[in-house]
Amino acid sequence: MNSIDIQHVSKQYGSHVVLDAISISIPQQSIFGLLGPNGAGKTSLIRIITGITAPDSGTVLFRGEQFAEKHIGQIGYLPEERGLYKKMKVGEQLIYLARLKGLSKLEANKNMAYWVAKFAMEDWLQKPVESLSKGMQQKVQFVATIIHKPSLIILDEPFTGFDPLNANLLKDEILDLRAQGATIIFSTHRMESVEELCSDIAMINKARIVLEGATKHLRSMEQTNNYQLITSEKIEGNGIEFTVLQEQCKEGLWHYDLALGRLSSSELIAKLASNTTIYQFAAKVPTMNDLFIKALQH
């Protein structure tokens, strides 16, 4: 069963169509990348999934059921525009937001204590949010998102404001939450994070889906006849049919990006092996950034 099924969802504001018959299936316990340029319709779709707004047409299913008010408590949403109360103390705010999600006072305090200890936030509890740095506020917002142990977590640009160390800490927590059974919808412009975290993606552009599927499958489908090669000696043409796209000598080894012609990869290796030691030979698989740009250009 999928965590979320979005079926032919459309949304329009005045004459502006923001979602045009969008259909997406989000697998249970996946980290699903929702991608696209600014203004593509991602935030509008997230607001529909969370019940903040309703679609003009189409259906959203939550674990096979028509989305209803009872499902809202099972969702944790970290919006791109953060929503903490600036003058409220951190501890009071976390308890208040947890209670809004249906937790008892005892449950709220227990869950808060767990995350406060995990993120070393003990000294922040009596401080107003506005006194914290941007990165510290981000941690508080993340804890507020997951404090009620939601089964569906929606993170919109979650790494904004984080230094590399804290970004890696958050990535580890996202992976751990998925391992514990949560489904995570992850919206970002950072393709390296998509590469690291997302098992599946959907890309929206101009209100429509332009790319969708498992990340490994999408990348393998776009594989070209280009290869990466590392050798002990500089290679020369010698009648071998390939094109050097890029070459570089680093620490005594030659690094190449090659495009093969009619020659097969095994034939190239056989011809090169008699003249040089081959340390690495691998197909050059496109990055998610490559796929992102290509999809937007079509």
Q: Same domain, yes or no, for 134 and 235?
A: no
| DSSP character string of 180-222 | TT-EEEEE-S-HHHHHHH-SEEEEEETTEEEEEEEHHHHHHHT
Under 8 Å between Cβ of 253 and 231: yes
Mark which of 195, 220, 245 sits at the end of a domain.
220
Task: Let me know: does 154 contact 46? Beta carbons within 8 Å.
Answer: yes
- Over residues 51-74, the mean pLDDT reads 93
Same domain, 35 and 168: yes
Residue 219 has pLDDT above 80, yes or no: no
pLDDT one-digit tens code per residue, 112-162: 999 999 999 999 999 999 999 888 898 999 999 999 999 999 999 888 878
CB 45 within 8 A of CB 6: yes
Q: Which position has the token pair 């290869």?
A: 227
> Residues 21, 166: one domain?
yes
Q: Is the pLDDT of residue 238 over 60?
A: no
User: For position 130, which CATH number holds?
Assistant: 3.40.50.300
Per the structure, the count of domains in the chain is 2
- With a threshold of 0.75, does the pTM exceed it? yes
Q: How confident is the model at residue 239 (pLDDT cuts 50, 70, 90)?
A: low
Residue-wise pLDDT for 249-279, tens only, equals 988 898 988 887 777 778 878 878 878 888 8
71 & 26 share domain: yes
Q: What is the pLDDT of residue 47?
A: 93
Once rounded to an integer, what is the mean pLDDT over residues 40-50? 92
248 pLDDT exceeds 60?
Answer: yes
What is the reported pLDDT for 223? 63
Q: What is the pLDDT of residues 160-206, one digit of tens each?
A: 878 888 888 899 999 999 999 999 999 988 888 888 899 999 999 98
How far apart are the C-alpha atoms of 273 and 56, rounded to whole Å? 63
Chain mean pLDDT for the chain: 88
Q: Are residues 210 and 241 in the same domain?
A: no
Report yes or no on 83 lying in a domain: yes
What mean pLDDT is predicted for residues 24-36?
A: 95
**264 within a domain of the structure (yes/no):** yes
Q: What is the CATH number of the domain that holds 242?
A: 3.30.70
Average confidence (pLDDT) over 18-43: 93
Pick 260 or 211 by higher pLDDT. 211
Domain identity same for 24 and 110: yes
Task: Specify the pLDDT at position 269.
Answer: 83
Determine the pLDDT at residue 240: 58
Q: Is 135 part of any domain?
A: yes
Q: Report percent pLDDT > 70 for the chain.
A: 97
* Residues 114 and 236 grouped into a single domain: no
CB atoms within 10 A of CB 152: 21
Domain range for 55 is: 2-220
**Same domain, yes or no: 89 and 30:** yes
